[in-house]
Structure 1
Amino acid sequence: MSCALFSQEQNYIPYRKGKVWGLCDTGKLITVQPQYSYISWYDNSVQGFHAVLNGRFGIIGSHSTLIMPFISDKPIAVDGGKFLVFDGWDYYYYSIKTKMRLEKQIQKPGPPVKDRGWVREAEPFYKGDVKEIVLSWDDLSDEDNVMLKPFNNDHYELNFKRDFIEIRDRDRSIGIYIPELKKIFLNTPELAHIGWQHYRGLPYIYTKNTSNLIGLVDEYSHEIYPNKYHEITLVDVGGLIYLSEPDPSDQNNLIFRTVLPNNQVLDGKFERDVQLWKNGSPFQLYSTMINGQKNYAGEDGTLYFEG
């Protein structure tokens, strides 16, 4: 999922240099020098970015200036128009305008926890094994039956899958039939067809070679990706492609890459994130988790982190 942020004051991105964080704009211009152990994404509720310095939380405002000093042991919140700060012992209110400490927060008693008079234990709505939905003869048309007729005999075995039929000759797979495409894809001694899916409105067929490496072809058997990948994942929502291949220097390690909708390639596995403005146009950001924190990249391949 992603969301559009159309306020210019929210157009800053957490930027990492080594182990410290700052802020930059979409053009990678540094607006807050990397010096913090953590910076959050923009938080509308506090009108700024949560940051951590020497183990304490503060808030950097939308114009890259400090609007709440680093005095809290927990992220600072806004409650009733005032900042709420935890000093290690208690919660205190602070004036948003003057930053001066006000009164101590009075904790209100919460509702009973797991009181059987009020809360009923949740029950699983289903028990038992979930069976995979597969095709059957009833799902096939007359044209499908004609296509499969040469293989519908005692010499061959037809294994029905979710959206294709595997054709086997004893212990050897000789190809697959895809009813939706009305096509048979025959295997070769070097290459087997193992499945298919739609991606951005077009069908693509997965292949596997004798080294068990995955490739991809279109419906006309034109190669899209060669057979050198451990896995190829097509994500229709967001238009992303995830590729992983064995590391030539260490066969126990995998190298991950993400192909964006505009065919930009990012090293690592990225997900679609927020959308900002750049030069007056929407600009999509993607994020990847590194050491438990989000690191960002732009749709043009710009990396907002280094080291």
Structure 2
Amino acid sequence: MRSTFIFTLIILSSIISFSQPPVLIPYRVGNLWGFCDTAGIVKIKPEYQNARKDPYTGLLIVTKKNKKHIIDFNGKVTIKSFDTCGIYGVFKTWANPVSDDVFVWVKDDNGKFGLKTTTGKQIIPMIYDDLYYNYRNIKESLYARKGDSIYLVPVNSKGKKTYYTTLGKGESFKRPISSDNYDAPPEPDQILSITSDENNDQAEAELNKVLEQIKANYRLDSVVAIPDLYYDLTCYTYKNGKVGLWNDKFVITPAYDSIGDINLHGAVIIAKKDNKVGIISTNGTVKIPFKYDNIHAYNHNIFITGKAGKKGFIVFRENRVLEFPPSLPDIERFSELSFNDSGFVLFRATEKGRLIGFIGENGIKYFRD
């Protein structure tokens, strides 16, 4: 019975592991790129001029000897030597983008377009000057231009292309595949809130009355409502040249030189004290000590830090703080990967516009000189 149970666990774990796509991150060694996992272990040898992972499909797109290729998770080339490409199709599973169910339009070195599956199977030959599709029938057919002639070409390769129309003088082929391939939603109507001067004066008088009451209750020098946080009536409070915060849910005693970003959703506040910047919570506790030259919030749990001309980052997770010290010329949030049923933030490091490499929220550098 015990051996049967263990065997069942092995089978289940195998199914789970195969159903989840591997998390691969571009990895640089010297001037060459490959891919590694989140632990920094190289999975695809760095041998490419550049390498990227398509954020929507997981396809790996690399360049070697100035030619672009698509490779699978093992490094095997599935589509080789093209100028540019794009994804076309409906995905049955995100875990296996390299399949015959996902289509890739490809433009070759001669400027001709065609369609292939991600395994490399040819669907539409590379003979057209433009391709066009819309998402209503992406699994059925697309339009193709060859010279001035437009054809309707079936995707399933069983049917034959049919003549559609001829472009007249001065006409252009609308929405080619290399441009935006969707019908942009209409601009929302602008809704204007119109109030009379009398109502505005009354609202301002009521606000000033509230501010004067707060000032008296806490014996403050002054109180200023924050325009962007009117909806929650959050105010700067001042006393003896120091600044704090007041809100009907919390009070931060005036003890800071200045207060920067305020995120009520994440209950975090960036503040400066003794000419150094840190992060406090809305209950007044210090979350990050005052040791940085500057801190910029990406959102309520991701922050870029600066010190002595270098950049680092901070990521708040449920019960821990992930802190990478300022040590690189420039850092910015790049993307958030799905990993172990949770998010994994990937940062992009650059120097004077040149990509150095990527860093995980775990502090691992995915590059080596």
Query: Given the two structures, how large is their TM-score scaled by the length of structure 2?
Result: 0.55
CA contact (8 A) 1:207 1:217 kept: no
Which of 83, 94, 112 matches 1:90?
A: 112
For residues 83 and 337 of structure 2, the distance between their equivalents in structure 1, rounded to whole angstroms, comes to: 28
Answer whether contact 1:9 1:63 (CA < 8 A) is retained.
no
- Segments of structure 2 that go 5 or more residues without pairing to the other structure are 1-16, 90-101, 129-143, 151-171, 177-183, 193-202, 228-233
Equivalent residue letter for 1:73: D
User: Per-residue CA shift, 1:11-67, capped at 9, x if unaligned?
Assistant: 33222223221122334332321111121214776x731111122111112332112
Q: Return closer, same or farther for 1:192/1:137 CA change in 2, 3 Å cut-off.
A: farther
Q: Which residue of the partner structure matches residue 75 of structure 1? A: 85
Is 1:230 aligned to 2:311, yes or no?
no
- Is 1:29 paired with 2:41? yes
Cross-structure match for 2:257: 192
- Whether contact under 8 Å (2:83, 2:106) holds in the other structure is no
AA partner of residue 241 (structure 1): F
CA distance in 2, matches of 1:22, 1:183: 51
Q: Does 1:265 align with 2:276?
A: no
What's the offset of the Cα at 1:196?
6.8
> Would the aligned equivalents of 2:28 and 2:368 in 1 still touch at CA under 8 Å?
yes
> 2:246 aligned to 140, 165, 178, which one?
178
Quote the residue 2:348 is aligned against. Answer: 288
Match of 2:338 among 249, 258, 275: 275
Aligned to 2:226: 161
Against the structure 1 CA distance between its residues 206 and 148, is the aligned structure 2 distance closer, same or farther, given a 3 Å change threshold?
A: farther
Question: What is the deviation of 1:149?
Answer: 4.9
Shifted more, 59-68 versus 194-203: the winner is 194-203
Q: Tell me which amino acid in the other structure corresponds to 2:76.
A: T
Q: Is the Cα–Cα contact under 8 Å of residues 84 and 91 in structure 1 kept in the other structure?
A: yes
Could you list the runs of 5+ residues in structure 1 that have no partner in the other structure?
Answer: 114-118, 128-134, 248-253
1:58 matched to 2:69? The reply is yes
Backbone CA RMSD of aligned residues: 4.5
Please give the alpha-carbon distance, in whole angstroms, between the structure 1 residues aligned to 2:174 and 2:191.
Answer: 30
Q: Deviations over 1:92-150 (max 9, x none)?
A: 5568556799451242452399xxxxx9x9899599xxxxxxx9663589798265257
- Residue 310 of structure 2 corresponds to residue 255 of structure 1: yes
- Tell me which of the two structures has the higher relative contact order, counting C-alpha pairs closer than 8 angstroms and 6 or more residues apart: 1
Could you tell me which amino acid in structure 1 is paired with residue 236 of structure 2? I
Which residue does the alignment assign to 1:131? none
* Equivalent residue for 1:145, pick from 190, 196, 213: 213
State whether residues 283 and 298 of structure 1, in contact with CA within 8 Å, keep that contact through their aligned partners in structure 2.
no
Secondary structure (helix, strand or coil) at the match of 1:63 reads coil
